[in-house]
Amino acid sequence: MSGYRSGTIAVFGRPNVGKSTLINRLLGHKLLITSAKPQTTRHRILGIKTTAATQFLYLDTPGLVWGGKGALARQMDGAAASAIAEADCLVLVAACPRLQDDDERALDFVKDLRKDRPLILALNKVDRMEHKETLLPLMEGLAQRGIGDEIIPLSARDGSNVLALEAVIARRLPEQDALYPEDQLSDRGDRFVAAEFVREQVFRRFAKEIPYVTTVDIESFREEKNIVRIEAVIYVEKEGQKAILVGQGGAGLKMVGSAARRALERHLQRKVYLGLWVKVRKGWSDDARALQSLGYGGDN
Ligand SMILES: Nc1nc2c(ncn2[C@@H]2O[C@H](COP(=O)(O)OP(=O)(O)OP(=O)(O)O)[C@@H](O)[C@H]2O)c(=O)[nH]1
Ligand SMILES: [Mg+2]
């Protein structure tokens, strides 16, 4: 197919700048989980968008934290670094109104690593800039420093200028045939998405301490004629955390379950039964073997 373009785009940056929200917006549907808490994304996940002229292979990555403690933190940084090392095109996401120290760190990190690959700076969250007139000087300052090939201000939340980013990416992908079948949407299956959608609700609904000590394991996933039956376990590290998550009379768990089920029904376009349990597994996040059995690793 002459003139067709296809390639991988690593979307990276510090936690919480809106990488996953941006990719969902670019894809036109919700594949990735998002929350107001940093370090929501824990895996490298491929989201695929195929058009008549281009196949976009977006790699979502965990926010770069550098030197975080424990096996999970190392796994997350590794997953991001591998995506950055391999991709055809790099999109560094930062958030308005200004670059922070950790954004500068991400820039330093790719400076030599990028070699001659395109680097695009996506300045997300323009919608929350109170003084729009400060955007231009910010962009000019960054342009003067020679940061990236293009700087695109946008809002992943309301969609402003996201198409401009897509157009810039399309121009910079290599000319080659599509790498994936045109109907494939991700490298992850529905089982993985189910676990993620449950974890998203834990991130969104609980105070800061709880989300980081939880992970979700799908024990069974059965597609029946009229319904998809899913049984999932939320693992925490301590009994006290389990009590918080379950809540009085199971109210906390019920809230998580019904919101996750609704999101899954939209994603699968099917009716879903979601059974949820909470179990304690001490030290899972710093145990390399436990991590592997819970689906972490293998991203690098
Ligand atoms: N105001 C505003 N908020 C946004 C925008 N994009 C994302 N957010 C919010 O920023 C928060 C973080 O979004 P995520 O997409 O989870 O960020 P991330 O960079 O993937 O975060 P990690 O996975 O933790 O590294 C969420 O509360 C989003 O709703 C935007 O354009 N404007
Ligand atoms: Mg994310």
Ligand 1 centre from 36 Cα, in Å?
A: 6
**Same fold flag, 5-172 and 190-293:** no
Ligand 1 pocket test, pick from 11, 12, 16 with the greatest ligand atom count within 8 Å of Cβ, gives: 16
- Percent above pLDDT 70 for the chain: 99
How many C-beta atoms surround the C-beta of residue 133 within 10 A? 7
Check whether 298 has a pLDDT greater than 80. no
Calculate mean pLDDT across residues 48-63.
98
| Average pLDDT, rounded, for the chain | 94
Q: Whose CA is nearest to atom 8 of ligand 1?
A: 18
Q: Which long-range contacts (CB under 8 A, 24 or more apart) does 48-52 make?
A: 48/180, 48/184, 48/185, 48/186, 48/187, 50/178, 50/180, 50/182, 50/183
Q: Which atom of ligand 1 is nearest to the CA of 154?
A: 31
pLDDT value at residue 234: 97
Ligand 2 centre from 112 Cα, in Å?
A: 24
Which ligand is closest to the CA of 15, given by its number?
Answer: 1
Calculate mean pLDDT across residues 146-168.
96
Q: What share of the chain is helix, strand, coil (3-state, %, to 5)?
A: 40, 20, 35
Q: Which atom of ligand 1 is nearest to the CA of 24?
A: 15
CB 123 within 8 A of CB 153: yes
Find the farthest-apart pair of alpha carbons in the chain and give their distance in angstroms, rounded. 62
Q: Whose CA is nearest to atom 7 of ligand 1?
A: 18
Domain residue spans of the chain = 5-172, 190-293
Ligand 1 centre from 155 Cα, in Å?
A: 10
Encode pLDDT of 201-254 as tens digits: 999 999 888 999 999 999 999 999 999 999 999 999 999 999 999 999 999 999
What global pTM score does this model have? Answer: 0.96
Calculate mean pLDDT across residues 123-138.
90
**What is the second-level CATH architecture of the domain 190-293?**
2-Layer Sandwich (3.30)
User: What type of residue is 155?
Assistant: S
Ligand 1 centre from 46 Cα, in Å?
A: 18
Residues linked to residue 275 through DSSP beta bridges, in sequence order? 231
Calculate mean pLDDT across residues 185-189.
97
Check whether 2 has a pLDDT greater than 80. no
pLDDT value at residue 178: 97
pLDDT value at residue 300: 60
Check whether 63 has a pLDDT greater than 80. yes
Q: Which atom of ligand 1 is nearest to the CA of 15?
A: 25
Q: Whose CA is nearest to atom 16 of ligand 1?
A: 34
Provide residues with CB under 6 Å of ligand 1: 15-21, 34-36, 38-41, 62-63, 124-125, 127-128, 155-157
Which ligand is closest to the CA of 62, given by its number?
Answer: 1
Calculate mean pLDDT across residues 109-128.
94
Residue 131: band (very low, low, confident or very high) from pLDDT cuts 50, 70, 90: confident
Q: Which of helix, strand or coil describes residue 47?
A: strand
Ligand 1 centre from 292 Cα, in Å?
A: 27
The CATH number for 5-172, chosen from 3.40.1520.20, 3.40.50.300, 1.20.1630.10, 3.20.20.100, is: 3.40.50.300
pLDDT value at residue 165: 98
What's the residue count for the chain? 300
DSSP letter at 279 equals: E
Please tell me the least confidently modeled range out of 101-115, 168-182, 219-233: 101-115
pLDDT value at residue 1: 52
